[in-house]
Amino acid sequence: MRAGSEKAGKAKKSSKPRGRVAEEKRVYDSPARQRQADETRERISNAARRLLEKTGYAGMTIPAVAKAAGVAVPTVYAIFGSKKGIVSELLDTARFGEAYQALFAQVMKLTDPLERLAFAPRFARQIYEAEVPVENLLRGAGMLAPELAGVEEERDCQRYDHQAMQIDGLQRAKLLRAGLSREAARDVLWSLTSRELYRMLVRERGWSGDQYEQWLKNVIRRELTGS
């Protein structure tokens, strides 16, 4: 019985260090795995962009992207799901780059709802200007309009959700224009910062980026706050 107990005690003691080592290994390996996953994602995205420029949208097939990126076809599907997923990645890379991140860092330091609201036109301009080269590539390469519209619709829905905090900040500070409900205010902000309005004024009517941003800043503030 003593021998058995000693063996059990030894086994019990030896299991703890192995558990801790395994746990620590998981903790330390996680960032490495994430970096590897990010690098693979970036490599696939870059390969897709090169193919888009060289062979067009039709030539940017999943197998071609996988070959150009040096990964297996299932890896591309696992990360992006489809060509539409790759297109979303290409657009998001352009839209949410360093310039966008710098704007985001600025606005996160602000607490005044009106100061935050003033960033809405700047965000819209930054995103829509940045995505133009990729959109031109997609359209020039023959991507079907409904497919591109589907990608843009997803981001428009996200924009509507993200803008809620701006409206909520104005409402808490009692700055919303009299008679304007929270939902109506969200609709107004979402519509005014739409891609369609930017295209109409800047790309079709020839407004400058500065002109668009200043006009939009004034209109948003007047429509939402009455000031």
pLDDT per residue rounded down to tens, the chain (227 residues): 444 444 444 444 444 445 554 555 555 567 888 888 889 999 999 999 999 888 888 888 999 999 999 999 999 999 999 888 998 899 888 888 899 999 999 999 999 999 999 999 999 999 999 988 888 777 665 555 566 777 778 888 989 999 999 999 999 999 999 999 999 999 999 999 999 999 999 999 999 999 999 999 999 999 999 98
Tokens of 141: 């390469």
> 105-141: b or e for each residue (b if 16 or more CB lie within 10 Å)?
eebeeeeebeebbbbbbbbbbbbbbbbeebbebbeeb
Q: Any idea where the domains of the chain sit in the sequence?
A: 1-81, 82-227
Q: Are the C-beta atoms of 147 and 88 separated by less than 8 Å? A: no
Does this model's pTM top 0.75? My answer is no
**Residue 173: its H or E element:** none
Fold equal for 1-81 and 82-227: no
User: Measured between alpha carbons, how far is 116 from 169 in angstroms, rounded to an integer?
Assistant: 9
Task: Identify the pLDDT of residue 75.
Answer: 96
**SS3 assignment, position 205:** coil
Question: Cβ distance 210 to 138 under 8 Å?
Answer: no
Q: What is the pLDDT of residue 3?
A: 46
Which pLDDT does position 38 carry in this prediction?
87
- According to CATH, the topology of domain 82-227 is Tetracycline Repressor; domain 2 (1.10.357)
CATH architecture of 1-81: Orthogonal Bundle (1.10)
Res 194: pLDDT: 95
**Distance set, CA 116 to CA 76, 91, 223 (Å):** 38, 25, 15
